[in-house]
Structure 1
């Protein structure tokens, strides 16, 4: 292990014990009692055997886990003698397994709890409520999370035809799991030759199909979360259900004839029951089914959409069937769709009672996936999500609520216990599996290829930790790198003359007219913090002369006035030369760039973005809108001063701007430090 990594690993031991430390800007505080061992290391262990397939071990996964469990026991009980490259001493290294990260089918293989059938929810365990349907089953009963006196608990007709009196189930603790284990015998690991193993009362209980081997670890029973629910796949499945049902996509639609017959069987929602007319079965159109023109408009919006570089894949390729069907979306596409695009795509096409709960669900996922989120915010999400799911229960058929939709109710509770979801979902694991697959050169021996490629990668990784003067995976630049600025090229000490970003490609000379030159000069002077005292002084002088039209006079006279003021100070030797050059104004011949990287964003001019598949020309500024160089952006501003005519804000906070109304303003230039990136999507409901 290299010296730098060793230094970072000593933080827990050498930190100031009198201080508290916040984790990911959350409200939870780490104290000394939270660490049961002084010298521990967090690392990721990946088991490729968990990948589903015809040769996947499935329930026999524990056969392959036994060597790992033995090593984990040794790391916890005895420890391993390790060399510290930073202090150049030996010490005993101890380690523990924090939790497992897996998709939902692998959840069953690791935990031993079946994720199919009547007890498919491992969080609700034996209290899972499953409604038998003609096609599989529906997991309803979200009214259990409502207050005990809520009116929806007694509203049987709007839900599943039953009055709800039960309360929300409490997840099993480690001791509860062991108590269940004592009530059945463990099945023998490995595959049985001959007759297939049968489950009965002696070797199973509720949803348990085996005893988890992880409980042989001495600390496993004390952990609050043993196996994580994967938000990545839950988002994807929920998004699939919504898209398939709203757009009636074959194979994805949950509103089928069987789903309508389930309503007949449950004696609810008479208006949606199939009817026989003229010898044919007629299925009434539901309020959540989109019209043909709405489907075309949504597909057209996605087909024409351009997103910033690196934000999203080319989603227009997923529009099929002559612009009437959306399919083949990747997991990250579903992630962006359900959190960002769903409210925009459905606005104006669905009734309010359908649109509102879908937007609430979209905002839930968006807030849940924040990198920094407080416990208070998670508690608010935990309270709101049962209401959202209950609203959806009153609208969509029971077949819509498969187990993946039901698991949404547990996500905020789990995040409140163990932290933000972005550190516990499957995205990095799926990407790493793609890397392992790329090692395969001989398809007859894929395992050998992966092992050989992995070993070579580990050797190169170890060597690269000692190479700081060349590009490696540890010092590789990010996609939109704006920090590689050579200090030798900066000739001024003024902050305004120090570039924050990097240009892409060369520049072309451009001649500014007098108006543009004055606009740039005034904006820089007005927004440069060291000159704020001069701005206030000039406005006070104008107010003393005449209190009328102070802002207009200030804009017209300030550049000349401050030039005279700084010139007097400069002649006395009390002013920096660079500051004097700043107030004297810019050159009329400037360099024009079509691309610039700053603040982690890649910006293109509108002309450069016109023929590209990406849109990088959107600029947002928060608030009111020689030798030295200042980079500025020239922008055309939408009219955000006139609410109703220039822009609109709906009840959900979604903003629409009128693309035909531009703001009439002289402030068309902004500094590079002020810009953030946005992108625009055409509203198919309103052509403007």
Structure 2
């Protein structure tokens, strides 16, 4: 089972829980408090009660709760992004600890949550028939009410690094996170010192359509479809020989076979001239 299915099923069960309290006439504030205080216990009892007829093994495994075994990681690659915790990325040239969780409206940035990644935790669920691992991101979020502002026309998002979300809700599924980085403003004005611009990075698994089209155009080989005039080549003429016809089978000197330089033989007259001369007594 994938973690995406875990998020979908958890959202479905939470929807059932919220609708139950809405039918009872509870206010949104009391429903939020009930989710924090009683949803986990209600989920376990609802799924494990045989009369409710829940047979999905993934839900039943989640209802048993995680084991005491957990693993912490300093980095994690998911959704085409490389994430680093704040401690692991400290001192590096790039920022990989910024995270964003999309809200209910993907076209409205004001419904998103932005924050820093503090820890990456892998928990293990062990039910009666299956086992699975779920990766969670733990981090600090910026307050969406007082710590975030969105430009009404260009939809650019700024966050205030000193306005954090006070509600304790630090965990999100790793598959829900996208990577962002925060850029400080160069202005030294007092009202802009604590504000940072949010820049969303592109996932590695996303292919730019423009570059893809350019690659396809470059891949088309150049080819001349029609030849206006073909050049004739006359091969009937006899090609002249490249060898000298005046010498037939010349024999190389003997010394070339032995690999020695030629020896000059002196004549007798030359020998007499070469004898040393001594004075007569």
TM-score normalised by length of structure 2: 0.51
Q: Report which stretch shifted further, 560-569 or 593-602.
A: 560-569
What per-residue deviation string (whole Å, max 9, x for no partner) do you get for residues 625-671 of structure 1?
443110111121112222xxx23345654332111111112221111
1:629 maps to 2:130: no
Give 1:29-108 correspondences, 5 Å limit: none
> Structure 2 CA distance, aligned partners of 1:673 and 1:619?
11
8 Å CA contact 1:639, 1:661 repeated in 2 = yes
Query: 1:586 aligns to what?
Result: 66
What per-residue deviation string (whole Å, max 9, x for no partner) do you get for residues 359-384 of structure 1?
xxxxxxxxxxxxxxxxxxxxxxxxxx
Query: 2:44 aligns to what?
Result: 563
> Structure 2 CA distance, aligned partners of 1:679 and 1:539?
34
8 Å CA contact 1:570, 1:576 repeated in 2 = no
> Structure 2 CA distance, aligned partners of 1:648 and 1:600?
27
Question: In structure 2, the residue corresponding to 1:663 is in which secondary structure?
Answer: coil
Structural RMSD (CA)? 2.7
Query: 2:164 aligns to what?
Result: 662
> Structure 2 CA distance, aligned partners of 1:569 and 1:495?
25
Return closer, same or farther for 1:640/1:533 CA change in 2, 3 Å cut-off.
Answer: closer
Q: What is the Cα deviation at residue 605 of structure 1?
A: 0.3
Return closer, same or farther for 1:539/1:580 CA change in 2, 3 Å cut-off.
Answer: same
Return closer, same or farther for 1:602/1:684 CA change in 2, 3 Å cut-off.
Answer: same
1:596 maps to 2:97: no
8 Å CA contact 1:497, 1:628 repeated in 2 = no
Structure 2 unaligned blocks of 5 or more? 104-110, 114-125, 195-281
TM-score normalised by length of structure 1: 0.22
Q: What is the Cα deviation at residue 576 of structure 1?
A: 3.7
1:647 maps to 2:148: yes
Q: What is the Cα deviation at residue 535 of structure 1?
A: 2.7
Give 1:147-186 correspondences, 5 Å limit: none
What per-residue deviation string (whole Å, max 9, x for no partner) do you get for residues 125-168 of structure 1?
xxxxxxxxxxxxxxxxxxxxxxxxxxxxxxxxxxxxxxxxxxxx
> Structure 2 CA distance, aligned partners of 1:556 and 1:570?
24
8 Å CA contact 2:44, 2:64 repeated in 1 = yes
What per-residue deviation string (whole Å, max 9, x for no partner) do you get for residues 226-282 of structure 1?
xxxxxxxxxxxxxxxxxxxxxxxxxxxxxxxxxxxxxxxxxxxxxxxxxxxxxxxxx
> Structure 1 CA distance, aligned partners of 2:24 and 2:94?
52
**Structure with greater strand share of residues:** 2
**Structure with greater helix share of residues:** 1
Q: What is the Cα deviation at residue 531 of structure 1?
A: 4.6
Return closer, same or farther for 1:576/1:670 CA change in 2, 3 Å cut-off.
Answer: same
> Structure 1 CA distance, aligned partners of 2:52 and 2:91?
53
Question: In structure 1, the residue corresponding to 2:140 is in which secondary structure?
Answer: coil
> Which one has the largest radius of gyration?
2
Query: 1:677 aligns to what?
Result: 179
Structure 1 unaligned blocks of 5 or more? 1-493, 499-523
